[in-house]
């Protein structure tokens, strides 16, 4: 019942350790129902870029602003600069652009104030239209008035906060310093027993002029307190007494916004010079110094006045903050509308500066898709009518002497695949686009290297979460660069996960464990009955291969994928290496041959039919006669030979080597009759294709050049001078896109270029075919890493079964999950992604894709905000 992927292809039988009693593990796989997703592609053709044309716009004076605004809303055209020789500061609409810059500066100030206040700016899904010039003046006046009002209110609030902070600091100083300047103790004995918080001076002593003590109070940052105290002591030589105490409550620093508990200091000193030194030192340490009365009654009176002022200041500050919140709400409600409107207006004037100015109109040149020309003309007509101008703006198609830009319309599904192709190079105008084929081939080649049901299911579920939440603003506007990249390629990851699940079923691997979905096609019992094995003899026997020629040992191929019995076989790696290596070569040759065939569509479209016979056909013959024949021998051996022929089955590799050497190995039988003749003919055909590739296209181009040169010479001889002058006045050069008629023909350069291409292709067929073996290597590495992780973590966790050990399994499983995501999903997934990228860029796309174009960037308001 068990069978490999290729059901009827003969394979060497698995060698089992039959003396060990092992059971094939049974994994219960959960089936998930996938809802069908319908994608409506709004595109002209993903197979080939849109047909573009160069159009000339005639914008009548008075309606040019409205016309460009209408084109920006549609996003159909890309403007060309017709004033390249004119300085940017000398163009017509410089003053309007400068006014837009001034308004954007005002908006930036409003946005900073809103962000500082923690106010969110609401964004509307509806985009406001570009404002008219008169509306822009009104918008500028309102925004400047609002910014001026906000600036004044913010300054007033800051002034009030600074004043309130000073009052609170002063009040705290007077309140906390009472412990140092309180009433005097009555007896000398009590003087000896008092603590550090008791008053320092006797009020009677204070009143004596010869022993008069002055005070200085203030606050200092706690980080500067120790340095401040040391410097005071050294500078004043001990003619002072310093007392420090923490403020009762922390206060916010208006500069940094931090909450700091300031330190209150009270300095008692003798002499005016000492006081001047203390003031200078305090200023150097940025201390806030406040007046401190010598009389306790005056200090109490000052404290009562301060408390009244603090209450009044808090009321005024509360009203100011209320008014400030109203101003901020007005700014928040209008800022998004203003910003989008001014940004549109600025881009309109930037586009108008690209146009050529005439007496009554502006002339502009744009690239536009041919299918959108009627829509472009109707937009100009409507804009002219709405502006109320005297004339009507219009456009007409003009010829161009250079290649147009490339436009390939994409949607949210195809944009990720198109981005992979564009990273290699933007398609040359009208050549075949590889993105449409990469939708299937890229995820599939990734899945071949990443095949595992469990890992693919995790990747699929992650991508499905991104797809279902694609309209969530938090996901769409994430600031994390890696997550944004994953979100942009969510459909690509979805297909990679789904196809990895498919190839995981083909490999029969789920977290490196096989799944017994169907009964195995191999039977050990039949082998034991045929050889009369007993329990004792089984334990003494070495590992031996199962013989499929014995009746009942091999019953039928496995219905799908690889038989799970191979997970118990000693020669499991030998079988998997042979299977995956041959599968990689088959996929690689088919992929490259398909790329060569796609060049036919380019040659037919550009009317270069001769290149099909001089380039495409020789390239395809060279590839198929050599490596296509290798694939044929692999498939032929799978189909024709059976398990009975395993002993004398020929080696394909030896046949392939003898094919190039034109020799025959007597010890290696032929696959079929007449094989040597066929191989000789194929090698000769492949060799004959090389001179055709080398000389065919250059000779054809040389003949075309000479025929054009002779025909032009005959035309000049047949025309008289008057006719020739008249013809030259009306002549318009129309480009051919890919021709060489208007260029100087360099024979040596053409032959050299073709020689390099021929050598590169012939050697590339060998290296590219070998490059596809990375499918085998990475698939094997992924399977082995997964198996090592399972054996080193989960298998150890399941070694003991008990209640206590069950609790230990929780962190073990968590560790296994972390390693699975970090190593097998992220690192191995990224590695497989990069290798699949290389196979598409180098091995597939260089067969037909040049990627020498430039992208079409339409003037569109939607991409500006």
pLDDT in tens, 622-657: 999 999 999 999 999 988 887 777 778 888 889 899
> With 80 as the cut, is the pLDDT of residue 23 above it?
no
Closest residue by Cα to residue 170 from 304, 14, 364: 304
pLDDT digits (tens, 9 = 90+) for 774-800: 999 999 999 999 999 888 888 877 777
Please tell me whether residues 393 and 482 are part of one structural domain: no
**Do 516 and 610 reside in the same domain of the chain?**
yes
**699 to 194, 283, 616, 749, 759: CA distances (angstroms):** 115, 91, 16, 12, 18
Per-residue pLDDT, 44:
43
Which residue, among 758, 763, 778, has the nearest Cα to 839 in the 3D structure?
A: 778
pLDDT category, 184, cuts 50, 70, 90? Answer: very low
Contacts 24+ apart (CB under 8 A), 827-833: 828/450, 828/778, 828/781, 828/782, 828/785, 829/450, 829/455, 829/459, 831/778, 832/446, 832/449, 832/450, 832/778, 832/782, 833/446, 833/496
The overall longest dimension of the chain from CA atoms, in Å, is 138
The residue among 278, 293, 310 that closes a domain is 310
pLDDT of residue 192: 40
Written as six digits, the tokens of 543 are: 């590992």
**Which of 25-29, 103-107, 557-561 bottoms out in mean pLDDT, i.e. has the lowest?**
25-29
pLDDT at position 541 is: 67
Neighbours of 759 (CB within 10 A): 13
pTM value is: 0.77
456 and 501: one domain?
yes
Provide the sign of the torsion angle of the four alpha carbons 276, 277, 280, 281, taken in this order. negative
The 10s digit of each residue's pLDDT in 855-864 is 999 999 987 6
The overall average pLDDT reported for the chain is: 82
Q: What are 445-476's pLDDT values in tens digits?
A: 999 999 999 999 999 999 999 999 988 888 88
Q: Do residues 421 and 373 both lie within one domain?
A: no
Q: Where are the alpha helices (DSSP H) in 10-132?
A: 64-74, 94-117
> Based on the domain organization, do 385 and 428 belong to the same domain?
no
499/550 Cα distance (integer angstroms): 38
- What is the mean predicted confidence (pLDDT) over 703-716? 74
pLDDT of res. 88: 83
844 or 568, which is more confident? 844
Residue 733 φ then ψ, to 5°: -85, 120
Confidence of residue 539 (pLDDT cuts 50, 70, 90): low
DSSP string of 291-330?
Answer: ---SSHHHHHHHHHHHHHHHHHHHHHHHHHHHHHHHHHHH
Least confident of 348-352, 730-734, 740-744, 768-772: 730-734
What counts of helices (H) and strands (E) characterise the chain? 29, 13
Reported as a pLDDT band with limits 50, 70 and 90, residue 151 is very high
Residue 737 domain-assigned?
Answer: no
The residues, ordered by sequence, that sit 6+ positions from 195 with a Cβ below 8 Å of its Cβ are: none
Do 386 and 295 have their domain in common? no
Cα separation, 420 vs 213, in Å, equals 83
pLDDT at 601: 94
434 & 516 share domain: yes
**Tens-place pLDDT, residues 92-136:** 899 999 999 999 999 999 999 999 888 888 887 788 888 888 888
Q: What is the CA radius of gyration of the chain?
A: 43
| Residue 301 shares a structural domain with residue 381 | no
Dump pLDDT digits (tens) for 36-93: 333 333 444 789 999 999 999 999 888 889 999 999 999 999 999 998 888 888 888 9
- Residue 688 is assigned to a structural domain of this protein: no
Q: Domain range for residue 83?
A: 52-92+353-398
**Are residues 431 and 392 both part of a single domain?**
no
**End-of-domain residue from the set 398, 425, 453:** 398
Place of tokens 């040659």: 603
Q: Are the CB atoms for 5 and 579 separated by under 8 Å?
A: yes
Residue 708's Cβ-side half-sphere holds a number of Cα atoms within 13 Å equal to 13
Q: Is residue 44 part of a domain?
A: no
Confidence of residue 268 (pLDDT cuts 50, 70, 90): confident
Q: Report, as an integer, the average pLDDT of 517-535.
A: 79
For residue 364, the SS3 value is: strand
Is 694 part of a structural domain of the chain? no
**Are residues 372 and 52 in contact, defined by beta-carbon separation less than 8 angstroms?**
no
Q: Tally the domains of the chain.
A: 3
User: What's 63's domain CATH number?
Assistant: 3.30.70.260
Looking at residue 463, what DSSP letter applies? H
* pLDDT value for 32: 34
Mean pLDDT of 424-436: 93
In 3D space, the residue among 544, 650, 702 whose CA is nearest the CA of residue 10 turns out to be 650
Whole-number pLDDT of residue 774: 94
Domain assignment present for residue 649? The answer is yes
Between CA 713 and CA 725 the distance in angstroms is 16
Residue with the two structure tokens 């609401």: 122
């Amino acid at each position: 019942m068990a069978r490999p992927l290729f059901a009827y292809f003969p394979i060497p039988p698995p060698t089992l350790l039959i003396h060990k009693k092992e059971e094939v593990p049974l994994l219960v796989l959960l089936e998930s129902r996938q809802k069908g997703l319908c994608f409506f592609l709004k595109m002209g053709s993903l197979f080939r870029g849109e047909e573009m044309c160069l159009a000339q716009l005639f914008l009548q004076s008075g309606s040019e602003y409205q016309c460009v605004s209408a084109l920006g809303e549609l996003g159909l055209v890309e403007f060309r600069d017709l004033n390249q020789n004119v300085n940017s500061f000398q163009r017509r609409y410089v003053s309007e652009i400068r006014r837009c810059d001034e308004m954007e500066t005002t908006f930036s100030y409003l946005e900073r104030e809103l962000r500082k206040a923690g106010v969110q700016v609401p964004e509307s899904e509806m985009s406001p239209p570009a404002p008219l010039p008169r509306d822009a003046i009104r918008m500028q006046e309102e925004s400047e008035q609002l910014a001026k009002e906000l600036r004044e209110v913010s300054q007033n609030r800051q002034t009030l906060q600074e004043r309130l902070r000073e009052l609170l600091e002063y009040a705290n100083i007077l309140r906390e310093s009472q412990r140092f300047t309180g009433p005097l103790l009555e007896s000398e004995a009590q003087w000896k027993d008092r603590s550090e918080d008791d008053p320092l001076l006797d009020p009677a002593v204070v009143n004596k002029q010869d022993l008069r003590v002055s005070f200085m109070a203030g606050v200092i940052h706690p980080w500067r307190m120790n340095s401040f105290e040391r410097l005071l002591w050294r500078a004043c030589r001990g003619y002072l007494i310093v007392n420090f105490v923490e403020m009762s409550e922390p206060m916010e620093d208006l500069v940094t916004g931090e909450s700091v508990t300031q330190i209150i200091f009270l300095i008692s000193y003798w002499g005016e010079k000492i006081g001047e030194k203390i003031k200078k030192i305090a200023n150097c340490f940025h201390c806030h110094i406040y007046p401190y009365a010598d009389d306790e009654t005056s200090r109490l009176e000052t404290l009562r006045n301060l408390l009244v002022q603090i209450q009044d200041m808090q009321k005024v500050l509360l009203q100011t903050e209320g008014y400030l919140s109203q101003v901020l709400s007005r700014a928040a409600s209008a800022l998004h509308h203003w910003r989008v409107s001014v940004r549109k207006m600025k881009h309109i004037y930037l586009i108008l500066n690209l146009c050529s100015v005439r007496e009554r109109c502006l002339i502009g040149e744009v690239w536009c898709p041919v299918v959108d020309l009627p829509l472009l003309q109707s937009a100009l007509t409507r804009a002219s009518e709405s502006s109320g101008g005297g004339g009507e703006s219009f456009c007409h198609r003009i010829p161009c002497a250079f290649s147009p830009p490339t436009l390939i319309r994409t949607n949210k599904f195809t944009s990720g695949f198109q981005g992979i192709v564009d990273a290699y190079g933007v398609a040359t105008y009208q050549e075949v686009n590889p993105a449409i084929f990469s939708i299937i081939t890229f995820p599939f080649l990734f899945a071949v290297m990443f095949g595992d049901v469990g890992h693919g299911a995790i990747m699929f579920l992650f991508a499905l979460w991104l797809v279902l939440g694609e309209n969530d603003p938090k996901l769409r506007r994430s600031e994390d660069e890696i997550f944004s990249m994953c979100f942009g390629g969510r459909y690509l990851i979805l297909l990679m996960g789904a196809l990895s699940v498919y190839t995981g079923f083909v490999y029969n691997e789920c977290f490196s464990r096989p799944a017994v979905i169907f009964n195995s096609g191999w039977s050990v019992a039949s082998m034991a009955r045929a050889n009369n094995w007993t329990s004792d003899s089984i334990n003494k026997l070495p590992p031996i291969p199962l013989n499929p020629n014995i009746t009942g040992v091999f019953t039928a191929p496995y219905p799908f994928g690889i038989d799970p019995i191979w997970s118990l076989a000693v020669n499991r790696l030998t079988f998997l290496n042979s299977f995956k290596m041959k599968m990689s070569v088959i996929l690689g040759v088919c992929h490259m041959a398909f790329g060569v065939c796609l060049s036919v569509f380019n040659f037919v479209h550009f009317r270069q039919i001769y290149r099909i016979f001089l380039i495409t056909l020789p390239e395809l013959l060279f590839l198929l006669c050599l490596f296509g024949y290798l694939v044929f021998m692999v498939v032929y051996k799978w189909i024709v030979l059976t398990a009975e022929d395993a002993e004398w089955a020929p080696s394909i590799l030896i046949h392939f080597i003898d094919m190039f050497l034109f020799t025959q190995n007597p010890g290696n039988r032929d696959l079929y009759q007449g094989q040597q003749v066929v191989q000789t003919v194929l090698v000769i055909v492949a060799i004959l294709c090389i001179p055709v590739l080398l000389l065919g296209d250059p000779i054809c181009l040389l003949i075309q050049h000479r025929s054009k040169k002779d025909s032009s010479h005959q035309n000049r001889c047949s025309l008289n001078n008057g006719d020739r002058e008249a013809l030259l006045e009306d002549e318009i050069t129309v480009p051919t896109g890919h021709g060489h008629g208007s260029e100087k023909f360099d024979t040596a350069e053409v032959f050299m270029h073709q020689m390099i291409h021929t050598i590169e292709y012939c050697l590339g067929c060998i290296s590219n075919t070998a490059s596809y073996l990375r499918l085998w290597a990475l698939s094997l590495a992924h399977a082995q890493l997964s198996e090592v992780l399972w054996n080193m973590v989960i298998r150890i966790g399941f070694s003991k079964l008990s209640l206590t050990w069950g609790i230990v399994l929780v962190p073990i499983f968590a560790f296994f999950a972390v390693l699975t995501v970090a190593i097998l999903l992220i690192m191995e997934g990224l590695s497989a992604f990069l290798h699949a990228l290389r196979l598409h860029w180098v091995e597939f796309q260089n067969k037909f894709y040049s990627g020498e174009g430039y992208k079409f960037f339409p003037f569109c308001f939607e991409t500006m905000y």
